[in-house]
């Protein structure tokens, strides 16, 4: 049985390219007691992976050159010597970009296949959806009538943040990087307002205009000058969830800029960083609530699904040229069971 | 009846001086229905007042030139047309620097005179003590064995923060501005470690050395480079209470410097600004707990009490040359009742 794997051949400079990846065929070792053989079904490609391909210090460890890329994958157990994960079970895990993986079973979460399409567990019911859910609801604690701002609004996380905020009765303002995305947020997802930061001119003015009653909750994927503009519109007792700081991912020194602390003091505001795994014990409850919202049509969800294991690098590259709408995935194989 | 009042004659440049203040005698108006006549007993002088004497933007409104300075005062009701505040009652309020004040009674809190010396209600049982209490316990949530760092550690707030953290079983590290203060914190107040930031050299190294297990809670009165040093030693899930940012009080533009957001993200850390009045509904409970700790000898408290209304400006000036140890007060009159 052939097993293709994709390894990091070299660290990209700027936009990643084919030369940075190498396909190899590797043997599948025999299963030991307690192990399972996983067949990859859906592979997630995500912008954060670009950061891990550099060796710059970041909040996630870098990938190693010569080792397989890893990421979120939905896989099927096709052979098992582990009674907790029988053949036919479907799991979600952080797995190597391989067709097959021998795994101890530890750290995998089993998926109920009847809840939603399997691919949804890499998006709205997976890390991006859960990230939106916990950051917005546990840190932001939005109340009806409040104004919620989300940066990176058209991304896999931001689109869910805005829609949950609408479910909670908030006025929602998104910040994104193209007119098409602004249109999508307002027309398709029901955002009350959206700002194209590339053409808005003075972001502070644009933010103040988009938020006439100030900002109560800010869900930040971005950092930098977009955040500065939001800070200046914060209301008393505002809450800020720091989910990503993409503005600084490529900086090799500690970033400098406007100090947020005096504003937090003046406004008795709260700011909290988080990573979705902080809330691991509550994933089940959250995924069920997200699934219910999807079923009721309250949460719209878009996927772009590329077919074929060999096309994983291309699907990844497409993230940086904006080829995908919504969550980008690669379908690698059909389910056997 | 004479009534002396101290008005802001001009805005200080640098350190305040006599010329910035003017003593006036003002008439005491007749009491209207619902009003009380207050006699000032103890007047608090505090560093934050310097900020209010400038017209630079800050989180507290500036004093007006030609108007009396206001601040924390313990006063006795010596005449009353308000049934809720009978003659003989003792109150705490934000009042003008005057011997007598006619007041509507609104916003005053009545003091139980048997709890502790009256002056304590301007310090350990008043705003500084309550500020320490709520910032440390409600935002910092220190757990036994954790490391708590406090900046401005030898001040009226910082000394209480450190001692409460010791009561809660924490390792406590203070940052202060002289060797005497460092000695005081370690020898008298039981701090585990203290850093003189003026002589420490590289603060980042000094902080890392003083906190070998990292920092779990940071109570910040100061901001600036002291805070940057603490940020670099933060542990996962650290909590930061922003109480003051004295490093920026004299800056007329929005301060810039190291961005804390990427560190909060990396560490899933929380940062929250506050002002003591955010917790007004819980003042009673907190003051009782503080009073009990004082009575049990668990909280040490030092006051420097200057005598006489005319000496209020000198007592205030002394704050900036470090003449006081602990809380600086002025005793203006004895209680009548």
- CB–CB of A99/A153 below 8 Å? no
| Residue A291 is assigned to a structural domain of this protein | no
DSSP 8-state class, residue B68: B
- At B249 the pLDDT is 65
Statement to judge: residues A117 and A133 lie in one domain: no
A219 strand-pairing partners: A150, A241
In a domain, B293, yes or no: no
Q: Which of A220, A254, A272 sits opposite B270 (nearest CB)?
A: A272
Q: How large is the average pLDDT for residues A248-267?
A: 85
Confirm whether B268 is domain-assigned.
yes
Number of domains present in the structure of chain A: 2
Average pLDDT over residues A37-58: 86
Indicate if the pLDDT at residue B87 is higher than 60.
yes
β-pairing verdict for A234-242 and A270-273: parallel
Average pLDDT over residues B228-244: 96
In this prediction, residue A302 carries a pLDDT of: 86
Cβ–Cβ gap A273/B269 under 8 Å:
yes
Q: Decide if A242 and B259 are in contact by the 8 Å CB cutoff.
A: no
Core vs surface per residue A185-196: b (16+ CB within 10 A) or e: beeebebbbbbb
Do B311 and B220 fall within a single domain? Answer: no
- With cut-offs at 50, 70 and 90, classify the pLDDT of residue A321: confident
Residues A37 and A57 in one domain: yes
Q: Indicate whether A296 belongs to any domain.
A: no
Of B59, B237, B270, the CB nearest to A270: B270
pLDDT of residue B169: 98
Could you tell me the residue range of the domain that residue B202 belongs to? 127-277
Which of B257, B263, B266 minimises the CB distance to A259? B257
Nearest to A11 by CA among A56, A42, A44: A56
The CATH number given to whatever domain includes residue B217 is 3.40.50.720
Whether residue A216 sits in one domain with residue A170 = yes
Shared domain check, B105 and B181: no
H helices within chain A, ranges in order? 48-53, 127-134, 158-167, 179-183, 203-210, 224-231, 261-267, 283-295, 312-318
If one compares B240 and B320, the residue with the highest pLDDT of the two is: B240
Helices within A198-251 (DSSP H only):
203-210, 224-231
Q: What is the pLDDT of residue A59?
A: 57
Residue B54 lies in a domain: yes
Mean pLDDT of chain B: 93
Give residue-wise pLDDT tens across range B275-287. 998 998 998 899 8
The string of DSSP letters for A100-121 reads EEEE--TT-EE--TTSS-GGGG
A·B CB contacts under 8 A: 110
* Measured distance CA(A149)–CA(A171) in Å, rounded: 9
Under an 8 A CB cutoff, do B271 and A275 touch? no
Yes or no, beta carbons of A266 and B59 under 8 Å apart: yes
- Interface check A227 vs B, CB under 8 A: yes
Angle at B206 between CA B267 and CA A270, to 5 degrees: 30
Structure confidence at residue A174 (pLDDT): 98
Distance, C-alpha A274 to centroid of its chain? 13
Tell me which residue has tokens 């002291």: B226
Judged by phi (left if over 0) then psi (alpha if -120 to 50, else beta), residue B277 lies in: alpha
Q: Please check the confidence at residue A58 and state whether its pLDDT lies above 60.
A: no
Q: For B237-286, give the DSSP string.
A: EEEEEE---GGGTT-SS--EEE-SHHHHHHHT-EEEE--GGGGGGGHHHH
Determine contact: A223 vs chain B, CB below 8 A.
Answer: yes
**Residues A250-266, mean pLDDT to the nearest whole number:** 86
Whether A92 and A134 map to the same domain: the answer is no
Q: How confident is the model at residue B187 (pLDDT cuts 50, 70, 90)?
A: very high
Q: What share of chain A is helix, strand, coil (3-state, %, to 5)?
A: 30, 25, 40
A263, A265, A274 member nearest B268 (Cβ): A274
Residue B51 pLDDT level (bands cut at 50, 70, 90): confident
Query: Is residue A112 over pLDDT 80?
Result: yes
pLDDT score recorded for residue A253: 75
Confidence of residue A54 (pLDDT cuts 50, 70, 90): confident
Q: Report yes or no: B148 and B141 within 8 Å, Cβ to Cβ.
A: no
Q: Which of A46, A47, A34 is nearest to A77 (CA)?
A: A34
Q: Examine residue B336 and state whether it is found in any structural domain, yes or no.
A: no
> Do residue A144 and residue A108 come from a single domain?
no
DSSP letter (8 states) at residue A282: G
Q: Which of B223, B11, B43, B241 lies closest to B132 in space, CA to CA? A: B241
DSSP state of B136: I
Give the pLDDT score at B151. 96
Using a pLDDT cut of 90, give the percent of chain A over it: 79
Written as six digits, the tokens of B106 are 């609104």
pLDDT at B57: 56
**Alpha-carbon distance B274 to nearest alpha carbon in chain A (angstroms):** 4
In percent, how much of chain B has pLDDT > 70? 97
Same structural domain, A249 and A107? no
Same domain, A202 and A259: yes
B243 chain-A contacts, CB cut-off 8 A: 265
Q: pLDDT tens digits, residue range A8-37?
A: 999 998 888 999 999 999 999 999 999 999
Kindly report the nearest CA distance between residue A286 and chain B, in angstroms: 19
- Same-domain pairing of B68 and B196: no
Instruction: Give the pLDDT mean for A158-163.
Output: 96
User: What digits encode the pLDDT tens for the residues B110-123?
Assistant: 988 887 899 999 99
- Residue B40 corresponds to which tokens in the numbers above? 């000032």
Q: Residue B334 CB: number of other CB atoms within 10 A?
A: 8
Of the residues A277, A293, A318, which one is the last residue of a structural domain? A277
CB A319 within 8 A of CB A328: yes
The tokens of A310 are what?
Answer: 């060999």
Q: Is the per-residue pLDDT at A150 higher than 80?
A: yes
**Tokens 């080792």 sit on residue:** A67
Q: Does residue A61 belong to the interface with chain B, where contact is any CB pair within 8 Å?
A: no
Nearest CA in chain A to B263: A273
Test A270 with B271 for CB contact under 8 angstroms: yes
Q: How many CB atoms lie within 10 A of CB A173?
A: 27
Tell whether B269 is within 8 A of chain A (Cβ).
Answer: yes
What torsion, rounded to 10 degrees, do the Cα atoms A274, A276, A281, A282 define?
A: 100
Within a domain: B286: no
The alpha-carbon gap from B241 to the nearest alpha carbon of chain A, in Å, equals: 9
Considering the domain architecture, whether residues B269 and B142 belong to the same structural domain is answered as yes
- pLDDT tops 80 at residue A60: no
Q: Which of A108, A112, A111, A113 is nearest to A36 (CA)?
A: A108
Confirm whether B318 is domain-assigned: yes
A253 and A139, same domain (yes or no): yes
pLDDT given for residue A13 in this prediction: 84
Choose among B254, B258, B275: nearest Cβ to A254.
B258
Distance CA A128, CA A36 (A): 26
Residue B79 near residue B59, CB atoms below 8 Å = no
Determine the angle formed by the axes of helices B127-134 and B283-295, rounding to 10 degrees: 100
Q: How many CA atoms lie within 13 A of A1 on its CB side?
A: 11
- Residue A49: which CATH number? 3.90.180.10
For testing the chain A interface, which of B219, B223, B262, B270 should be mutated: the one with the most A CBs within 10 Å? B262
Residue A107: which of A84, A129, A123 has the closest Cα? A84
CA dist., res. B103 & res. B101, Å (int): 6
């Amino acid at each position: 049985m052939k097993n293709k794997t994709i390894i990091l051949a070299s660290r990209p400079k700027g936009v990643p390219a084919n030369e940075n990846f190498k396909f190899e065929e590797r043997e599948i070792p025999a299963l030991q007691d307690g192990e399972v053989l996983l067949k990859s079904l859906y592979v997630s490609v995500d912008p954060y992976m670009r950061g891990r391909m550099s060796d710059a210090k970041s909040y996630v460890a870098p990938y190693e050159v010569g080792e397989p890329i890893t990421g979120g994958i939905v896989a099927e157990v096709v052979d098992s010597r582990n009674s907790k994960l029988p053949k036919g079970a479907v799991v979600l895990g952080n797995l190597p970009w391989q067709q097959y993986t021998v795994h101890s079973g530890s750290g995998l979460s089993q998926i109920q296949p009847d809840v939603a399409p399997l691919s949804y567990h890499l998006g709205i019911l997976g890390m991006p959806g859960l990230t939106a859910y916990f950051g917005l609801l546990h840190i932001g604690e939005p109340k009806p009538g409040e104004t919620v701002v989300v940066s990176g609004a058209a991304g896999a996380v931001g689109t869910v943040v805005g829609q949950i905020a609408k479910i909670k009765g908030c006025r929602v303002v998104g910040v994104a990087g193209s007119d098409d995305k602004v249109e999508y947020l307002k027309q398709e997802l029901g955002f009350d307002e959206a700002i194209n930061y590339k053409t808005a001119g003075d972001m502070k003015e644009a933010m103040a205009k988009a938020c006439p009653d100030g900002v109560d909750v800010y869900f930040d994927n971005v950092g930098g000058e977009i955040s500065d503009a939001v800070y200046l519109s914060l209301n008393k007792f505002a809450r800020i969830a720091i989910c990503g700081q993409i503005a600084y991912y490529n900086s090799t020194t500690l970033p400098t800029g406007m100090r947020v602390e005096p504003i937090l003091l003046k406004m008795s505001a709260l700011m909290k960083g988080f990573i979705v795994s902080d809330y691991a014990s509550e994933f089940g409850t959250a995924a069920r609530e997200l699934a219910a919202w999807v079923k009721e049509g309250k949460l719209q969800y878009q996927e772009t699904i590329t077919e074929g294991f060999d096309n994983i690098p291309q699907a990844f590259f497409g993230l940086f040229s904006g080829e995908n709408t919504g969550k980008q995935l690669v379908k690698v194989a059909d389910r056997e069971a």
